[in-house]
Structure 1
Amino acid sequence: MPAASREEAVQDEVSRPETSRSEVGDIGQAARQSAIVELLKVAPVAEELARRFAEAGYRLYLVGGSVRDALLGRLSGDLDFTTDARPPQVRQLLEDWAETVWDTGIEFGTLGAYRRGTTVEITTFRADSYDRVSRNPEVVFGDSIDDDLLRRDFTVNAMAVELPRRSFVDPYDGLTSVVDRKLDTPATPQESFADDPLRMLRAARFVSQLGFEPAARVVEAMREMAAQLERVTPERIQLELSKLLCGRHPRRGVELLVDTGLAEYMLPELPAMRLEIDEHHQHKDVYRHSLVVLEQAVDLERAAASDEEPEPEPDLVLRMAALLHDIGKPATRRFESGGGVSFHHHEVVGAKMARKRLRALRYPKDVISDVSNLVYLHLRFHGYGDGQWTDSAVRRYVTDAGHLLPRLHKLVRADCTTRNRRKANALRRSYDDLEARIARIAEEEDLARVRPDLDGNEIMRLLGIAPGPIVGQAWRHLKDVRLDRGPMEHDEAVAELYRWARDQGIDVTESE
């Protein structure tokens, strides 16, 4: 079968909205064959490895997300295996085969290796038990592939393909879950989530990444056990939240977090936005408005696709800023006479709240800074009106945004969710005009590198002063003047420096 036809067949099989039980057998057989076709893409490495294990008397299975992704036609170069061999035997089999071997996960029975562009992780069968206080299991090695698959998070990740035989192992009906696009657990959800509460976040993440629907019993267990998320470290929560936001359907994942109560334990600012009426868009509460802004930001991200980058990388900073841009509204809500509602300075309060929450989730400093600055700046454009800004105001907008300007463009455009077509078109035209003015001024003045017309060394020489706070104050004053007036001639900049110095009571002699 040609490659294109295979891909169409796989997509047809796993994306049907409804599948009768009588059809599952035929679809399952075709899907299994399609999965094997996907596996052939990495067969040279995978089968070499499998033959080594078989010759040594051990069994090797491609397992978990690798099999799921093969069924979905999206297999990557990172493969997960499980085996009945114990870690010392696995190491021995890898050492003279792989280009690189690492054992950072060996206490959990996992070794990693790299060969010819493919990364593999091999874990000995597990039959762990959990104390259900922490997330740390008591590692127990098992002897059965079925028992190993039972301890996995979801049925779509509880399938295996034995290599080199290429036999499909699916004791918990994961293939049907893939075909039906359902997310369920091999054991009961309560058992699974009690063992590892992080799995509840993984459920929301898979909803975002794969577009699957969680089974009713999974959603119910998430509601019952949301408080168990307190057992999970902020770093792990941060990782899952980032993956969720970078999925293809981030709104669905966020809605699941909020609807099940999980958001209360990781991002409580989100549910706090519900029912807070937005003064510009009174047909939506702030929470629903923020979800729409998130979706529209993702659409703008994808609209930037090009021949060189047909599938742009998800922009975590933009998506996080879109989700959090209005979190300051509940704290700043005021009811005005006449029935209106205002949220004065919600961007200032929201920026502080975003910074505090992202710090608590242990995000890197650059992500915290970028997201909070976008939240702070997202409302600035609404003073632009019909183009009343001076060139000085445009320069300040660009300078304050700095490297975030392309993201700020997308965020401001995404923030327009009004159903009033005339108003939406007017906002769009205004922002088109602002971008055109930015481009014109940038051409004339190189806005990306706005600096004072005199540097620190020249300021010290002209004023006859040593390094210290006065130099910085003078530099900032000259930068403000530069933003207001645009570029100045050297003599004009020197005269401005002397004028400022005299106003500050600094004794200077104009000797230029």
Structure 2
Amino acid sequence: MSDRIATAVPSVPPVADELGRAFADAGFELHLVGGSVRDALLGRAAWEDLDFATSARPEQTLELLERLGTTTWTTGAAFGTIGAMFQGERVEVTTFRADQYDRVSRNPIVAYGDTLEDDLRRRDFTVNAMAVSVPEHVFSDPFDGRGDLARRVLRTPATPEESFADDPLRMLRAARFAAQLEFEVDADVRAAMTAMSGDLSRITAERVRDEFVKLMGAADPVLGLRLLVDTGLAEVFLPELPALKMQIDEHAQHKDVYEHTLTVVRNAVALEDGAPDVVLRIAALLHDIGKPDTKGMGTDGRVTFHHHELAGARMAKRRLRELKFPKEQITAIAHLIALHLRFYGYGRGEWTDSAVRRYVTDAGDELARLHKLTRSDVTTRNKRKAARLAADYDALEERIARIEEEEDLARVRPDLDGNEIMRLLGVPPGRVVGEAWQHLKEIRLDRGPLSRDEAEAELWRWAKERGVLPDAGE
């Protein structure tokens, strides 16, 4: 494959040539650039994204695209980018850039360039600094990006120090591309990332979050995560991860909790049955972050981490809020972390049907992910133990399926609803109704579905004991 990349010129989609002719007729250059060129050379995608660089200024680009009868949008106009739907394809056209940074603020000061090479020099990595002119199909690669693709290495067009000083987010991008493309990072780039990792604090939480999410959705996120920890970048925005390095796993089967965690992430990736599940992957990454704060020593001399799942859920909520994750994702990830140990003990035969109902009910919409996270957490090298735990979880899933055939476990409700409770007790809406409803739900979880008479008897019994109706049921 490396020989093919070293000599290949990517084929160009007809729609790009059509747009190129329109720009050429108007006296402007137009070039396909960036990740779309890289991926075409790698054979990874058939031009899913059409990103162009042009000598036209944004207002000229907008006028030309509107004249072509396309739908346009200008949300990126401040940075020189005009978006459009051209012949059914989504395209983005950006004026040649020669960005300037004051190296203090969090955003670039946009300055337009005059040449394609200037534009390519300001890009993050050489593998993203290639271009194909349209409609001429002249391939431009002033920084040997094609050679780096063949060598599977990440370098910067300018010096790494200059590139990262201009935009520290590029250091996080290096980790993301390492995970996404499964490339090595050039030694000079890695050294600059280590020396300049603290500069990442200049970047807004939202931009850091977006890159981190892309990294976690990559083909092998562990490659990127190791790079983040080894260079000190993780200390800046996710210090809970490197903190795991010095914690000894209580099973004494792994070098440390850090290595165990990376294995759990890889296990979770392997259990996915479709598109990358970033919520599951982040839950796997953070599932043990409560261990450093809960480390203790048992009477037998073994290391313990009592209730680390609850501490970890709280820590995950706090960290993900700081990174501006959506509320629903924070809730899901913290919920998975809090529940990830619930399964242990099932194999000892201690679980009743009531315990199974509660497991399913407590997991709620996250049950499928909880299954995967729990299985991923089994990283013991003891093959007999691993087989036993897998068999135990198989048995639990089969038991859940059996009970679900008899009951709707996904929607466990009391056998009497609020209106029936109010009618039977003769009370208005309020606290009493809610408490009665919750009591009947607990009975439902413990015993399964009740008959109408049984449910009413339980309601009267509860009401009498609570003094809601002193003569209830008599």
Same fold (TM over 0.5): yes
Question: 1:427 deviation in Å?
Answer: 0.3
> Quick check: 2:98–2:119 contact (8 Å CA) kept in 1?
yes
- Residue 485 (structure 1) aligned with residue 447 (structure 2): yes
Q: Which amino acid aligns with 1:507?
A: L
> Quick check: 1:83–1:124 contact (8 Å CA) kept in 2?
yes
> Quick check: 1:127–1:147 contact (8 Å CA) kept in 2?
yes
> Quick check: 2:106–2:204 contact (8 Å CA) kept in 1?
no
- Residue 67 (structure 1) aligned with residue 50 (structure 2): no
C-alpha distance in structure 1 between counterparts of 2:64 and 2:470, whole Å: 78
SS in 2 for 1:82: strand
Question: 1:510 deviation in Å?
Answer: 5.2
Moved more, 267-276 or 108-117: 108-117
Q: 1:86 aligns with which of 35, 51, 57?
A: 57
Question: 1:92 deviation in Å?
Answer: 1.2
- Residue 202 (structure 1) aligned with residue 201 (structure 2): no
SS in 1 for 2:91: strand
Moved more, 485-494 or 501-510: 501-510
| Cα displacement string for residues 65-116 of structure 1 (whole angstroms, at most 9, x for unaligned residues) | 1111111112443211001111111011101325310011111111000134
Which TM-score applies when normalising by structure 1?
Answer: 0.90
Distance 1:287 1:403, change over 3 A: same
Matched with 1:460 is: 422
Moved more, 277-286 or 158-167: 277-286
Matched with 1:405 is: 367
C-alpha distance in structure 2 between counterparts of 1:284 and 1:475, whole Å: 49
- Residue 370 (structure 1) aligned with residue 332 (structure 2): yes
Structure 2 matches for 1:150-229, cutoff 5 A?
A: 150-229=121-200
Moved more, 98-107 or 231-240: 98-107
- Residue 130 (structure 1) aligned with residue 108 (structure 2): no
Runs in 1 of length 4+ with deviation above 3 angstroms? 508-512
Matched with 2:466 is: 504
SS in 1 for 2:158: coil
C-alpha distance in structure 2 between counterparts of 1:59 and 1:482, whole Å: 71
Q: Which amino acid aligns with 2:52?
A: F
C-alpha distance in structure 1 between counterparts of 2:432 and 2:468, whole Å: 10
Which TM-score applies when normalising by structure 2?
Answer: 0.97
> Quick check: 2:171–2:193 contact (8 Å CA) kept in 1?
yes
Q: 1:426 aligns with which of 388, 401, 415?
A: 388
Matched with 2:23 is: 53
Q: 1:445 aligns with which of 396, 404, 407?
A: 407
Question: 1:119 deviation in Å?
Answer: 1.0
Size of the aligned set, in residue pairs, is 473
Distance 1:98 1:299, change over 3 A: farther
Question: 1:465 deviation in Å?
Answer: 1.1
SS in 1 for 2:285: helix
- Residue 97 (structure 1) aligned with residue 89 (structure 2): no
> Quick check: 1:238–1:361 contact (8 Å CA) kept in 2?
yes
> Quick check: 2:461–2:472 contact (8 Å CA) kept in 1?
no
- Residue 117 (structure 1) aligned with residue 95 (structure 2): no
Question: 1:511 deviation in Å?
Answer: 7.9
SS in 2 for 1:53: helix
Q: Which amino acid aligns with 2:294?
A: T
Gaps of 5+ in 2: none
C-alpha distance in structure 2 between counterparts of 1:511 and 1:98, whole Å: 77
C-alpha distance in structure 1 between counterparts of 2:153 and 2:223, whole Å: 14
Moved more, 115-124 or 266-275: 115-124
Question: 1:508 deviation in Å?
Answer: 5.9
> Quick check: 1:114–1:120 contact (8 Å CA) kept in 2?
yes
Matched with 2:314 is: 352
Matched with 1:19 is: none
Question: 1:149 deviation in Å?
Answer: 0.5
SS in 1 for 2:378: coil
Q: 1:106 aligns with which of 64, 77, 84?
A: 77
Question: 1:317 deviation in Å?
Answer: 0.8
Identity of aligned residues (%): 62
Q: Which amino acid aligns with 2:403?
A: I
> Quick check: 1:77–1:119 contact (8 Å CA) kept in 2?
no
SS in 2 for 1:342: strand
C-alpha distance in structure 1 between counterparts of 2:101 and 2:75, whole Å: 21
SS in 2 for 1:112: strand
Q: Which amino acid aligns with 2:170?
A: R
How large is the Cα RMSD of the aligned pairs? Answer: 1.4
Gaps of 5+ in 1: 1-11, 14-23, 305-311
